[in-house]
């Protein structure tokens, strides 16, 4: 039995053409025409004003914090229910992450808990420096409410759209709502450059400065001169070639992932205690990963772990939902605002195989293994 992966790279066919171009012209460096064109493609697709292609989504998040002047002792509010890469760069800067719970409509940052946290820190004279909102599994967060709070309290939003490329919210593409916005092209994401990321913004000066910082912050001089601390965070022209090819199939990839979700939702529609990540009104998810909740109180004690192991036995990869940051050992003593929403999602949630390259056979096998848990 071949292994069915959670989410594996899926080339469209044209990537190699752009990579070949890079080789033919010897543009192997971390700059060149593929990088410029990939950035242009990202802007055209999302509607963002400016984009910088970088070495990873994590690098983009780190530069976003640097650009907003986040430094030692500052407070940054961050969605708790996310991958650790959303939060780690806060610590790189010596700042304190403060984690915010999710709400049940989108599974993303709860605007009420966010406002409670903002007020708490404003009252202490310690206004947070930034809000990191995440679109988990490609599902848009409640950006209207989050942006409204950002404007009310004058705290910039960093959109972690690492999982959200191709999704939209009231007709506007994700990656365009924050002051600074982050994409990832890691191997498991909806499109990939093998490894890579991007910083998007409507503020050209921010993106310009991110390019400067990402290439070791060299002052304009014939020798190497530095007035800032720099980073080596730029995307290579070879990887950007993969990205250009992937952009040509992005909408197709979104459709394929949404079809996976529709398949599972249909297959398990009548299963008591099995529910899915909801798509709120105005939201168009890219369904990067298809996520189910298995409530043991309604499934005669079947748990998500039972399902995960049953799939594993059939050589099918699945994974629990992200473990919230406030429950991670490394963030044990970190402040947290909210209740038990994300904790509950982690307890009961499972990501099913979701690659855009799944065959009908793969999906049928997954569905059969899933259903086998619920027999008798
Ligand atoms: C993948 C991911 C990142 C990090 O992106 P990399 O390109 O892997 O560094 C950040 N945030 C979220 C939510 C992610 O899923």
CATH topology of domain 250-372: 3.90.1150
Atom of ligand 1 nearest to the CA of 56: 7
What confidence tens digit (pLDDT) does each residue in 333-343 have?
999 999 999 99
**Pairing verdict, β 50-54 and 75-79:** unpaired
pLDDT in tens, 60-103: 999 999 999 999 999 999 999 999 999 999 999 999 999 999 99
What is the CA(183)–ligand 1 centre distance, in A? 8
Q: Which residues line ligand 1 (CB under 6 A)?
A: 56-58, 82-83, 85-86, 134, 160, 162-163, 184, 186, 197
From CA 319, how far away is CA 9, in angstroms rounded? 17
Give the DSSP per-residue string, 201-218. ES-HHHHHHHHHHHBT--
Q: What is the pLDDT of residues 189-219, one digit of tens each?
A: 999 999 999 999 999 999 999 999 999 999 9
Q: What is the pLDDT along the chain (376 residues), one digit of tens a residue?
A: 899 999 999 999 999 999 999 999 999 987 899 999 999 999 999 999 999 999 999 999 999 999 999 999 999 999 999 999 999 999 999 999 999 999 999 999 999 999 999 999 999 999 999 999 999 999 999 999 999 999 999 999 999 999 999 999 999 999 999 999 999 999 999 999 999 999 999 999 999 999 999 999 999 999 999 999 999 999 999 999 999 999 999 999 999 999 999 999 999 999 999 999 999 999 999 999 999 999 999 999 999 999 999 999 999 999 999 999 999 999 999 999 999 999 999 999 999 999 999 999 999 999 999 999 988 6
Fold of 15-247: 3.40.640
Point out the ligand 1 atom lying closest to the alpha carbon of residue 163.
15
How close is the Cα of 160 to the center of ligand 1, in Å? 8
* pLDDT at residue 376, as a whole number: 61
Map out the domains of the chain as residue ranges.
Answer: 15-247, 250-372
Q: What angle do CA 308, 2, 14 make, to 5 degrees?
A: 105
Minimum CA distance residue for ligand 1 atom 14 = 162
Q: Residue with the nearest Cα to atom 5 of ligand 1?
A: 57
Please state the φ and ψ torsions of residue 168, each to the nearest 5 degrees. Answer: -145, 165
CA of 86 from ligand 1 middle (Å) equals 7
The per-residue b/e assignment along 42-55, b for 16 or more CB within 10 angstroms, e otherwise, is: bbebbebebbbbbb
């Amino acid at each position: 039995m071949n292994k069915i992966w959670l989410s594996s790279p899926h080339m469209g066919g044209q990537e190699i053409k752009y990579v070949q171009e890079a080789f033919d012209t010897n543009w192997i460096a971390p700059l060149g025409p593929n990088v410029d064109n990939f950035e242009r493609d990202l802007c055209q697709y999302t509607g963002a004003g400016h984009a910088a292609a970088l070495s990873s989504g994590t690098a983009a998040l780190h530069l976003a914090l640097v650009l907003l002047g986040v430094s030692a002792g500052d407070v940054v509010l961050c969605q708790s229910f996310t991958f650790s890469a959303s939060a780690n760069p806060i610590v790189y800067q010596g700042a304190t992450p403060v984690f915010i719970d999710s709400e049940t409509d989108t599974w993303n940052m709860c605007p009420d808990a966010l406002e409670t946290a903002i007020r708490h820190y404003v009252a202490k004279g310690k206004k947070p420096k930034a809000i990191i909102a995440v679109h988990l599994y490609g599902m848009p967060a409640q950006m209207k409410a989050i942006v409204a709070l950002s404007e009310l309290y004058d705290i910039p939003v960093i959109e972690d759209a690492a999982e959200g490329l191709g999704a939209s919210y009231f007709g506007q593409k994700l990656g365009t709502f924050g002051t600074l916005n982050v994409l990832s092209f890691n191997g498991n994401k909806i499109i990939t450059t093998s490894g890579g990321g991007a910083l998007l913004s409507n503020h050209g000066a921010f993106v310009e400065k991110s390019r400067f910082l990402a290439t070791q912050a060299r002052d304009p001089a014939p020798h190497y001169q530095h007035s800032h601390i720099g980073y080596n965070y730029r995307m290579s022209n070879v990887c950007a070639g993969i990205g250009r090819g992937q952009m040509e199939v992005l909408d197709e990839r979104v459709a394929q992932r949404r079809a996976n979700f529709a398949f599972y939702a249909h297959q398990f529609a009548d299963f008591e205690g099995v529910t899915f990540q909801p798509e709120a009104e105005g939201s168009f998810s890219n369904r990067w990963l298809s996520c189910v909740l298995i409530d043991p109180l309604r499934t005669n004690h079947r748990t998500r772990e039972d399902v995960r192991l049953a799939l594993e036995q059939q050589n099918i990869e699945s994974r629990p939902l992200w473990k919230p940051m406030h429950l991670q050992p490394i963030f044990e003593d970190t402040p947290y605002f909210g209740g038990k929403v994300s904790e509950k999602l982690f307890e009961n949630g499972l990501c099913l195989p979701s690659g855009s390259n799944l065959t009908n056979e793969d999906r049928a096998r997954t569905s059969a293994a899933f259903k086998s848990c619920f027999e008798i």
